[in-house]
Amino acid sequence: MDSELIEIFVEEAGDLLDHSDGLLARLAEDPGDRENVVGLQRDLHTIKGGARMAGLMAIGELGHAMESLLEAVAGSRSELDREGVELLQRGFDRLHAMVTRIGRQRAIAPSEELIAEFEARVSRDASPEQAAPEPVAAPTRILDPLSAPIGDADSGEDDISVRAPQEQVRIRADLLDRLVNYAGEVAIYRARLEQQLGAFRSAMGEMEQTNTRLRDQLRRLDIETEAQIIARYQRESDTPDAAFDPLELDRFSTLQQLSRALAESAADMNSLQGTLDDLTRQYETLLTQQSRVSSELQEGLMRTRMVPFDALLPRLRRVVRQAAAETGKQVQLRLDGAQGELDRNVLERMTAPLEHMLRNAVVHGLEDPGARRKAKKPEDGEVRITVRREGSEVVLQVADDGRGLDRGGIRRRAEERGLVKPGAVLSDGALDALIFESGFTTTDEVSRLAGRGVGMDVVASEVRQLGGTLEIATRKGQGTTFTLRLPQTLAVTQAVFVQIGDTSFAVPIASVRGVGRIEREAMGKPGAVYAYGGEEYALHDLGLLVGQAPARAEGHLQMPLLLVGAGDLRAAVAVDQILGNREIVVKPVGPQVASIPGIFGATIMGDGSVRVILDVAPLVRRQAALPQDAAPAQPDEPRQVPLVMVVDDSVTMRKVTGRVLERHNFEVVTARDGIDAIERMDERVPDLMLLDIEMPRMDGYELATHMKADARLRDVPIVMITSRTGEKHRQRAFQIGVERYLGKPYQETELIDNVYDLLGKEQPDE
């Protein structure tokens, strides 16, 4: 056997069998539709010819037997009834199993009994003068795997019509995944470049202000120097020569020459700054263009990973047929919106969970025909799969019209396993969610199809790991519906960033219902809820959920809330700050970290730092499941890092002072003048301010006066650090209400002593 030829056949046969499965489903609904019969006949003809060319005679003989039945139907020598359609379904299932084994390089056995059933069906339906056709060898054909599909030479025209109208390219899945990852890395580097360019632009703004100050100081220096020259000339000469101005004489001092040189250097710096501004604008334009191309590249690669959901349907149909055959039930699989697309990785990871849910629907959900007749239901049970898109999510619903969940049986088994205390009051939603517990089953008998106690917990776990949600809706005697909400793609997603303490986290936007605010006093009340959109959200604290200090939301009048929904769970989670949402590239974190409840993955920020992506729902459920006495208690005095604001128009002073404070474990925020400081204090109120006097737009005296007149800011201690050490300046500062007054340059120990003293904290021993 030619291994390359077999590989080509397996690839083509898989596509043809998937196509045939769709035709077969339509044929089951309308057995009299001749177009579906002809389409199946064409597919089988191509599969048969390819199998014989590849030396796979067992597949070729079964395909020929099935084709003979379809030829008889197409020639009106036989009619397809329900029994005939079921026979064809068994034949195609067998073909699919044989092709799958060949693809795995495993041997296949002839299907003699199944072939005999097809031949008997053809012979039974044929009239006496029409004997069943004898098997004949396939006609000779020329194989060109690069230009035509595998099939008989005389059917080339038909085959060119089961094929796509445009050329297709097949690439390895792992190569495509690597390309998508590389595109994600490019997006991360682009974000870092944008952030660094923003920092550079900010530094350019600081440089412009510095140059402006430098030119002003040099202008005043020139005026002062010229004034001194004139004064000295007048002192040295009692009878000045009126013919010459003092500045026209060769009386230039070294100081004046240096001042003129400094003025020229300042002009050169101004010219250099203009050049840097032009280059920065060019870089920003190029980065914008690169961002657009990078986004289009990433979007194009993501589209190549998107596959239609109906590519999975043949496999799901076979699962339903096999489960129905083994349980003796009659089941119809209905599909709505199967043309929706999902990320290939999402589809692959959801294949096994979907198969298990379908088996459960047939084995546990649907009644046998007798029970359905008693319940005045059609004997054929129905399992329906609905696919639709909502925003950036794909919604999958698996529903059956069976008996519904046995909540009494669920409760009994839960009490037996110690999951529920006898007499405990549980909502229907909480009771239904118990089927997602590991090893949970209400079935006493273990079968090959279901009842081993593994399955629904794996389904729920897989959905959570994909960043999705799973909901249950059931009605006794009417059926059960499972609703899965999944991200359309795994590589890139939208996330909301929140901060708790010094740490920020990303939360997938698929689980976020909205944001809100609540009074601080309401957070401490037991059983408190937050009403939103006609629903009640139980209050939780993200700090306690992740093992940190509780949310403080310093500088906010109310506590920010992130509203999370998953299944029947509704939680309003308090945070220190909601930082906004953005598109992120999802990165795996490895099995060690991924095994920790609540961690969905990680992402890399523009500055290169790593942020954990949280799945909040498991954290809320875990805390809710803890006994009240075992719930984590809030610490009496949570550790809080004081925030110090440094306000100075000198970049150097801001950096040096900021580093001094950070070495002593203070949080630092800076502002370049009074107006900038007021804008920053709209977001957060500092615990202490270090303030310069001489600044553009608003000087230190004006800022201090504004703060002492503002009820929100008047209690912030102010330390003035300035080169103006005269008593007049000092007294004015104290009259405004400034607490301390230090001169430049300051001593580090003196500054730190004053900071600790004003904050009322003891300085740690070195």
The rounded distance, in Å, linking the Cα atoms of 726 and 541 is 51
* Class (C level, CATH) for 492-630: mainly beta
A 10 A CB-CB count for 629 gives 6
The rounded distance, in Å, linking the Cα atoms of 574 and 522 is 11
Task: Please give the single-letter amino acid code of residue 262.
Answer: L
| Residue tagged 């700090």 (tokens) | 543
pLDDT at residue 217 in the model? 83
Q: Tokens standing for 421? A: 């205390």
Query: Do residues 39 and 162 touch, judged by C-beta distance below 8 A?
Result: yes
Which residues have a Cβ under 8 Å from the Cβ of 101 and sit 6 or more positions away?
Answer: 107, 108
The rounded distance, in Å, linking the Cα atoms of 454 and 297 is 41
Using CB atoms within 10 A of its CB, is residue 288 exposed (0-12), middle (13-18) or buried (19+)? exposed
The rounded distance, in Å, linking the Cα atoms of 580 and 63 is 59
Q: What angle do CA 499, 501, 505 make, to 5 degrees?
A: 30
H-helix or E-strand spanning residue 249: none
H-helix or E-strand spanning residue 512: strand 512-518
Return the half-sphere exposure (C-beta side, CA atoms, 13 A cut-off) of residue 47.
33
Going by DSSP bridges, is the β-strand pair 535-541/529-532 parallel, antiparallel, or unpaired? antiparallel
Q: Which of 697, 754, 698 is nearest to 721 (CA)?
A: 754
Domain residues of the chain, as ranges? 3-160, 173-306, 328-487, 492-630, 643-759
Query: Do residues 67 and 45 touch, judged by C-beta distance below 8 A?
Result: yes
**DSSP string of 257-281, one letter each residue:** HHHHHHHHHHHHHHHHHHHHHHHHH
The rounded distance, in Å, linking the Cα atoms of 480 and 111 is 38
The rounded distance, in Å, linking the Cα atoms of 471 and 60 is 46
A 10 A CB-CB count for 375 gives 12
Task: Please give the single-letter amino acid code of residue 490.
Answer: L
Whole-prediction pTM value? 0.55
Going by DSSP bridges, is the β-strand pair 331-336/512-518 parallel, antiparallel, or unpaired? unpaired
Which residues have a Cβ under 8 Å from the Cβ of 410 and sit 6 or more positions away?
Answer: 431, 432, 434, 435, 442
The rounded distance, in Å, linking the Cα atoms of 16 and 93 is 13
The rounded distance, in Å, linking the Cα atoms of 223 and 215 is 12
| Residue tagged 């002073």 (tokens) | 653
Same fold, 492-630 and 643-759: no
Query: Do residues 659 and 666 touch, judged by C-beta distance below 8 A?
Result: no
Going by DSSP bridges, is the β-strand pair 577-585/535-541 parallel, antiparallel, or unpaired? unpaired
Task: Please give the single-letter amino acid code of residue 369.
Answer: P
DSSP state of 449: S
Helix pair angle (82-103, 112-125), 10° resolution = 150
Profile the chain (766 residues) by mean pLDDT over runs of 10 residues: 78 84 83 83 85 86 88 81 85 88 86 87 65 39 32 35 56 80 80 84 85 85 78 63 53 70 85 89 89 83 80 84 87 82 81 88 89 90 88 82 87 82 78 76 56 64 77 89 81 84 85 87 79 88 86 81 81 89 78 71 79 84 59 46 88 86 88 88 87 86 90 90 84 91 87 89 71
The rounded distance, in Å, linking the Cα atoms of 209 and 324 is 79
* Class (C level, CATH) for 3-160: mainly alpha
Q: Is the peptide bond before 745 cis (omega within 30 degrees of 0)?
A: yes
Which residues have a Cβ under 8 Å from the Cβ of 751 and sit 6 or more positions away?
Answer: 657, 660, 690, 719, 721, 742
DSSP state of 166: S
pLDDT at residue 255 in the model? 72
In angstroms, the Cα distances linking 657 to 664, 684, 691, 722 are 11, 20, 11, 13
| Residue tagged 């979007």 (tokens) | 299
pLDDT at residue 690 in the model? 93
The rounded distance, in Å, linking the Cα atoms of 474 and 204 is 63
Return the half-sphere exposure (C-beta side, CA atoms, 13 A cut-off) of residue 223.
6
Task: Please give the single-letter amino acid code of residue 181.
Answer: N
Q: Tokens standing for 584? A: 């992120």
Q: Tokens standing for 310? A: 């109906």
Choices 1.10.20.10, 3.30.70.1450, 3.40.50.10680, 3.40.50.2300: CATH for 643-759:
3.40.50.2300
Query: Do residues 675 and 649 touch, judged by C-beta distance below 8 A?
Result: no
The rounded distance, in Å, linking the Cα atoms of 66 and 88 is 7
Helix pair angle (3-29, 34-53), 10° resolution = 160
**CA-CA-CA-CA torsion sign (432, 436, 441, 447):** positive
In angstroms, the Cα distances linking 666 to 640, 662, 722 are 10, 5, 21
The rounded distance, in Å, linking the Cα atoms of 642 and 752 is 13
Q: Which of 569, 575, 434 is nearest to 501 (CA)?
A: 575
Report helix, strand or coil for 392.
coil
Going by DSSP bridges, is the β-strand pair 740-743/718-722 parallel, antiparallel, or unpaired? parallel
pLDDT at residue 242 in the model? 55
The rounded distance, in Å, linking the Cα atoms of 32 and 9 is 31
Going by DSSP bridges, is the β-strand pair 643-647/688-691 parallel, antiparallel, or unpaired? parallel
The rounded distance, in Å, linking the Cα atoms of 438 and 458 is 8
Q: Tokens standing for 503? A: 């740490």
In angstroms, the Cα distances linking 667 to 437, 551, 659, 762 are 44, 17, 10, 17
pLDDT at residue 635 in the model? 43
pLDDT at residue 762 in the model? 78
Q: What angle do CA 334, 336, 338 make, to 5 degrees?
A: 105
pLDDT at residue 618 in the model? 76
Choices 3.20.20.70, 3.40.50.2300, 3.30.565.10, 3.40.720.10: CATH for 328-487:
3.30.565.10
Which residues have a Cβ under 8 Å from the Cβ of 638 and sit 6 or more positions away?
Answer: 549, 550, 552
pLDDT at residue 155 in the model? 35
Task: Please give the single-letter amino acid code of residue 385.
Answer: I
Using CB atoms within 10 A of its CB, is residue 506 exposed (0-12), middle (13-18) or buried (19+)? buried
